[in-house]
Structure 1
Amino acid sequence: MKHALVVLALLAASPALAQRMRPADVDKLPSSTPTLTEAYGPAPAQIGDLRLPAGPGPHPVVIVIHGGCWWKGFATRQNTAALASRLTEKGFATWNIEYRQAGETGPDGKYTGDPGAGWPGTFKDWAAATDHLRDLAKRYPLDLTRVAVTGHSAGAHAALWVASRAKLPKDSEIASPDPLKIGAVVAIDGPGDPGAEIETFEKGCGVPAGTAMFGGTPAEQPQRWAEGSPQKQLPFGFKSGLVSASLFLSPTATAKWVTEARLGKDRSSALILGGTGHFEVIAPGSPVWSQVEAFLVEQLKVDK
């Protein structure tokens, strides 16, 4: 296939199947009770759920980041609770995080997002939640030499950004002085280079998500969009996996990521799923879940 893309699965496309699940359907899926729900910052949205697998540990850890167009009211960490629960069953400790989400100012002058969301606040939330694992590891059996991250939709971009942030310029507004080391990342149907995909992304979201998140368009804020683009930080020095259901991560964009990652000597693989919806890929029990789960479990393993 073009771009030397490794395709682990390719299902025949069927429009009748697309988008049969909605966010609320995924929210209602069974999930396990977290071992701990804890704040990683002072804002109400700066919170996460830690789930521990059976056994004494120390356990490999997966940070899980929900989507929702970075937009307040679209999704919460409940949307990835079933995903986190299933990964915990597979032997990973999971840290399913919430974060501040943007919005817009209406005609009445009221802002609909979380205070401080967007640039740089939301990025700093993802960073702070990740680095909070150091504190959690003092109290729970977590193996910080085996930390991976995954996310869905806009959370896929967040996961890739968390994986890439060690490559940021030290003077960046969203850089961290000592970022926790990440060893693997999987993006589930979300953009690695949001600036290149912003028209498709905002059309799918139905809101000006990019402008709200970055404080302007790519033309207006080129440095912000560059620093917020994980793809522009390649190579990472560890493996990346991508799951495409074609809504917010097209096969073409997937191929471009894998090609660029491999040119930088990173290992990168993809799971291309046609004929499925954007939410089936994070829904245990869906027709495609067994393939997604197998891909996640393999790709999220961190090499020692």
Structure 2
Amino acid sequence: MTTHTPYGDDPSQYAELTLPDGAPRGVAVLVHGGFWKPEHDIEHAQPLVPSLVEAGWATWAIEYRRGTGAADTLADVRAAIAACPVEHPVRVAIGHSAGGHLAAWAATQQVGLTHVVSQAGVLDLRAAHDAGLGGGAVARFLGHPPGEADAGVDPIRQVPLAVPLWCVHGRADDVVPLAQSQAYVAAATAAGGAAELIEVAGDHFDVIDPASEAWARVLGLIEQLGRPAG
């Protein structure tokens, strides 16, 4: 059963909680992508819920304001994760594309995350802007081209994280290039962080296809973390 849970007054400020049978092995926070654009929403995360729940995870799929500026989006992601009603020592944020950016950023915000899985994440905002990813999505999100003042919202400039991060990225991704994850992991490990690149077959959307080998790899990664609370 899935419960719709508002965490604010805006129609986009809500999350969906789905619980497994019995005690959860952990909480999986799902953060959808879509280059922070209003036309892309939680529907991109929802297909991943059944397999996570079947594996024993409580899922907290979050929606957030998009297209109204970085401050709104970031405040919502922070508030949504903090509002998760399930208490558990293991909380894994799983974010796709721009959701990977938001998940990595959220790990710096003391909202109880213990691990991050970035699925084809936008983890270097300056490089993403220079490459024109999403048709200028980074500048639209920030309200300006990324610069020195944006270090606090750019994952590659926030390394090392205090929690482990896995970058799962398709070799054939032509939406967010593999170089984004390669550069992030190189920077994070050089700074002493716990980060690992996991290259998989497929493109940008195979990593969020619940029938794909890429998603099976994600389930395998987090399986080693989960344990019943108690």
Q: TM-score, normalised by structure 1?
A: 0.68
Q: 2:53 aligns with which of 77, 85, 88?
A: 88
Shift of 1:286: 3.0
Aligned to 2:219: 293
- Between the two proteins, the alignment pairs up a number of residues equal to 226
Contact kept, 8 Å, 2:125 with 2:146, in 1: the verdict is no
Q: 2:197 aligns with which of 270, 279, 282?
A: 270
Shift of 1:287: 5.1
| Aligned equivalents of 1:291, 1:37: Cα separation in 2 | 28
Shift in alpha-carbon separation, 1:163–1:127, aligned structure 2, 3 A: same
Matched, 1:282 2:226: no
Shift in alpha-carbon separation, 1:94–1:119, aligned structure 2, 3 A: same
Shift in alpha-carbon separation, 1:261–1:286, aligned structure 2, 3 A: same
Q: What are the superposed Cα offsets for residues 36-65 of structure 1, whole Å, 9 maximum, x if unpaired? A: 11101110000110011111x254111100
1:285 match: secondary structure: coil
Q: TM-score, normalised by structure 2?
A: 0.88
Q: 1:118 aligns with which of 56, 62, 69?
A: 69
Contact kept, 8 Å, 1:184 with 1:301, in 2: the verdict is no
| Aligned equivalents of 1:155, 1:296: Cα separation in 2 | 18
| Aligned equivalents of 2:104, 2:49: Cα separation in 1 | 17
Shift of 1:77: 0.8
| Aligned equivalents of 1:277, 1:76: Cα separation in 2 | 20
Q: 2:64 aligns with which of 94, 99, 102?
A: 99
Q: 1:215 aligns with which of 138, 143, 148?
A: 143
Matched, 1:255 2:182: yes
Shift of 1:247: 3.3
Shift of 1:184: 0.4
Aligned to 1:149: 93
Aligned to 1:68: 34
Contact kept, 8 Å, 2:160 with 2:194, in 1: the verdict is no
- Give structure 1 regions of 4+ aligned residues with deviation exceeding 6 angstroms: none
Q: Please list every run of 5 or more consecutive structure 2 residues that lacks an aligned counterpart in the other structure.
A: none
Aligned to 1:42: 9
Structure of higher CA gyration radius: 1
Q: How does 1:165-244 map to 2 (within 5 A)?
A: 165=109, 179-200=110-131, 202-203=132-133, 205-206=134-135, 208-219=136-147, 222-223=148-149, 225-244=150-169
Contact kept, 8 Å, 1:80 with 1:96, in 2: the verdict is yes
Q: How does 1:16-31 map to 2 (within 5 A)?
A: none
Contact kept, 8 Å, 1:164 with 1:234, in 2: the verdict is no
Contact kept, 8 Å, 2:121 with 2:181, in 1: the verdict is no
Shift in alpha-carbon separation, 1:262–1:243, aligned structure 2, 3 A: same
Shift of 1:195: 1.9
Higher RCO (CA-CA < 8 Å; seq separation 6+):
1
Identity of aligned residues (%): 28
Q: Please list every run of 5 or more consecutive structure 1 residues that lacks an aligned counterpart in the other structure.
A: 1-32, 103-116, 166-178
